[in-house]
Structure 1
Amino acid sequence: MTNPVPLAEIWRGPFLESVHMGHAVIVDGSGQIVQAWGDPAAIVLPRSSSKMLQALPLIESGAADAFGLKTEHLALACASHNGAAIHTDRVQAWLSHLGMGDDDFRCGPQMPDDPVAHKSLLCSDSSPCQYHNNCSGKHSGFLTLNKHIGGDPEYVRPEHPVQKAVLEAFEDLTGETSPGFGIDGCSAPNFATSLYGMARAMAFFATASEGQGTRASAAARLRDAMTAYPELVAGEGRACTELMRAMDGRVALKTGAEAFFIAIVPEKGWGIALKVADGTTRGSECAIAAILVKYGLLDLDHPATRKRMNTPIRNRRGVETGILRPAAGLL
């Protein structure tokens, strides 16, 4: 096993103050490794970076079309959203269309990260609902699939038909038997795989097109929904949204908790997966931006890039005291 390698660094003046170690790999459509840093075989929990995989059965089963879901719904099914009105209004309408309500969710309530929605709840002395949960779009997809197949209400149980369908798709596209799962923050099982397996699955999304078969058609629809609605996938100020906009929809991006990140690159047929070992988001955002810049997919000088890579660190007086930058070995 290869040890994690430096992916991002914090410099304070002339001193290397902190290092974010991790693993990253690029895989092409044939399953070949284009480049790797650290250990591609490292076993990982991809967390919310796996939402596209979790949404495949929603389309493959026919549930998405049976309930008239649009591209925006598919983007939300892949989202870790901020809980802004553009997210929660759509989720509530989706629930209503299913004849369901907030109590049908199993994701749990969450205070929204969107500042306007957050302030509104605080000022009204209201408690957050489950539709505010950043995973409520994914769970709306689960509920849609579950209603389509007539499953019992506890759709997050690992042995439930919804999650069995997710596992089948996950193992097929990663090309690996999952060694197990952890329970995610939204209570759904999150299946483990190798970093290589996750990048391989993303390469499938990168090379998929409608008409190639049920699974490829579903993958293409989800990928294209993400790039069509970057604001639904995350939200204003978030890396996924801002970097997808910066690349004009050429790349689909999705973060996951504990510093996971994936990229889907159709023009190269690549899937990219990375994991920062210490779980720090600033490290994973810097690393994914650096890889995208390295291969000419992202403009080094775009404001969304500079916000996350080669980023000045300032103290409370606004004095520049350091910099967040990619490790030399990543470039």
Structure 2
Amino acid sequence: MTQSVPMAEIWRGPFLESVHSGHAVVCDEAGQITHAWGDPEAVVLPRSSSKMIQALPLIQSGAADAYNLTSEQLALACASHQGAAIHTDRVGKWLDALGLVDDAFRCGPQIPADVPARDDLIKTDQSPCRIHNNCSGKHAGFLTLTQHLKAGPDYVDPDHPVQKACLDIYETLTQVTSPGYGIDGCSAPNYATTLHGMARAMAHFAAAPTGSPEERLRSAMMAHPELVAGEGRACTNLMRAMQGKVAIKTGAEAFFIAIIPEKKLGVALKIIDGATRASECAIAAILVKLGVLDPEHPETMKYLNAPITNFAGLKTGTLRAAPKLL
């Protein structure tokens, strides 16, 4: 097995204080590796970076069209959102249209990451609901597919038709037989694959023709970056910086993917210590290297060569991409 390589560094003055290592792969439309760092065959759990794959059966089954889902709803099906009103209002209307209530979700209640939404709950002495869960959009998609298939309510069970459909398309696009799964933070199974397999799947999304299920999902993400994550989040900030030309998606424990239609490339990366700051820096560096992200854009500089400040506002260090990544 090839060892992981340094991907992000923390410098404090002239001292290299910390290093985050990882693996990354870039694939073309044929699934061939064009760039690789570390071990392309490392087995990984893509976590929420796989949401667009999990959303594919929603369209392929005919459920999305049968329920007249909008591009906003498709973006939410791929989202790890902040729990802001812009997210929960839309997911709530979607749930109402299905004739369901909050308890239909199998994801757990979660305090919103969005500060105004969180503060509003505190001020009104309310508890968070399942709709506030960052994965509630994905679960609304699961519920839509469940109704379309006339399947039982426990849609996160690995033996449920929804999850079987997700696994089938996952293995088809990655071209890897999954060695198993872990249970994600939202209670759904998250299937393992290789980093190469995940990059291959993202390249498939990038090369998919107009009108295909894959193109509909990537276009929804690029059209609605604020729904995919939220204000202040790297996914939203960097997609805006690339002016709707690239779809990117983070996953827990420092995973990241990118879908680059104009170059028909797919990217997958994993920071092995699970540090989100490192995965955000690394994906920005790779997008700059591939020529789709302006290194001087203000949003880029929040993640690449980003200043680290202390509570007094003094610059005390820098987060930068490791030389091998560049």
Compute the TM-score of the two structures, normalised by the length of structure 1: 0.98
Structure 1 residue 219: Cα displacement: 0.6
Q: CA separation in 2, counterparts of 1:68 and 1:267?
A: 28
Q: CA separation in 2, counterparts of 1:282 and 1:197?
A: 24
SS of the equivalent of 2:324 reads helix
Q: CA separation in 1, counterparts of 2:181 and 2:76?
A: 23
Which residues in structure 2 correspond to 1:168-179 (within 5 Å)?
168-179=168-179
Q: CA separation in 1, counterparts of 2:313 and 2:116?
A: 26
Which residue identity does 1:258 align to in structure 2? E
Match of 1:255 among 235, 250, 258: 250
SS of the equivalent of 1:329 reads coil
Which residue identity does 2:262 align to in structure 1? E
Unmatched tracts of structure 1, length 5 or more = 212-216
Q: CA separation in 2, counterparts of 1:225 and 1:179?
A: 30
Q: Which residue of 2 aligns with 1:64?
A: 64
Q: Which residue of 1 aligns with 2:217?
A: 222
1:244 aligns with 2:239: yes
SS of the equivalent of 2:158 reads coil
Q: CA separation in 2, counterparts of 1:12 and 1:150?
A: 58
Q: Which residue of 1 aligns with 2:109?
A: 109
Q: Which residue of 1 aligns with 2:263?
A: 268
SS of the equivalent of 2:80 reads coil
Q: CA separation in 2, counterparts of 1:27 and 1:329?
A: 18
Q: Which residue of 2 aligns with 1:278?
A: 273
- Moved beyond 6 Å, runs of 4+: none
Which residue identity does 1:237 align to in structure 2? G
Q: Which residue of 1 aligns with 2:23?
A: 23
SS of the equivalent of 2:113 reads coil
Structure 1 residue 13: Cα displacement: 0.8
Q: CA separation in 2, counterparts of 1:92 and 1:272?
A: 32
Q: Which residue of 2 aligns with 1:52?
A: 52
Q: Which residue of 2 aligns with 1:127?
A: 127
Aligned residues: 326
SS of the equivalent of 2:299 reads helix
Which residue identity does 2:312 align to in structure 1? R
1:97 aligns with 2:97: yes
Which residue identity does 1:51 align to in structure 2? K
Deviations, residues 206-238 of structure 1 (Å, cap 9, x unaligned): 000135xxxxx1111000000000000000000
Q: CA separation in 1, counterparts of 2:119 and 2:69?
A: 31
Q: CA separation in 2, counterparts of 1:319 and 1:163?
A: 49
Q: CA separation in 2, counterparts of 1:133 and 1:209?
A: 32
Q: Which residue of 1 aligns with 2:167?
A: 167
Deviations, residues 7-39 of structure 1 (Å, cap 9, x unaligned): 000011111100000000100001110000000
1:299 aligns with 2:294: yes
Q: CA separation in 1, counterparts of 2:285 and 2:165?
A: 35
Moved more, 307-316 or 183-192: 307-316
Structure 1 residue 128: Cα displacement: 0.4
1:290 aligns with 2:279: no
Compute the TM-score of the two structures, normalised by the length of structure 2: 0.99
Which residue identity does 1:254 align to in structure 2? K
Q: CA separation in 1, counterparts of 2:64 and 2:259?
A: 22
SS of the equivalent of 1:330 reads coil
Moved more, 160-169 or 309-318: 309-318
1:232 aligns with 2:227: yes
SS of the equivalent of 1:23 reads strand
Deviations, residues 210-269 of structure 1 (Å, cap 9, x unaligned): 35xxxxx11110000000000000000000001000000111000000000000000110
Deviations, residues 147-167 of structure 1 (Å, cap 9, x unaligned): 000111100000100000000
Unmatched tracts of structure 2, length 5 or more = none
Identity of aligned residues (%): 69
Q: CA separation in 2, counterparts of 1:192 and 1:292?
A: 24
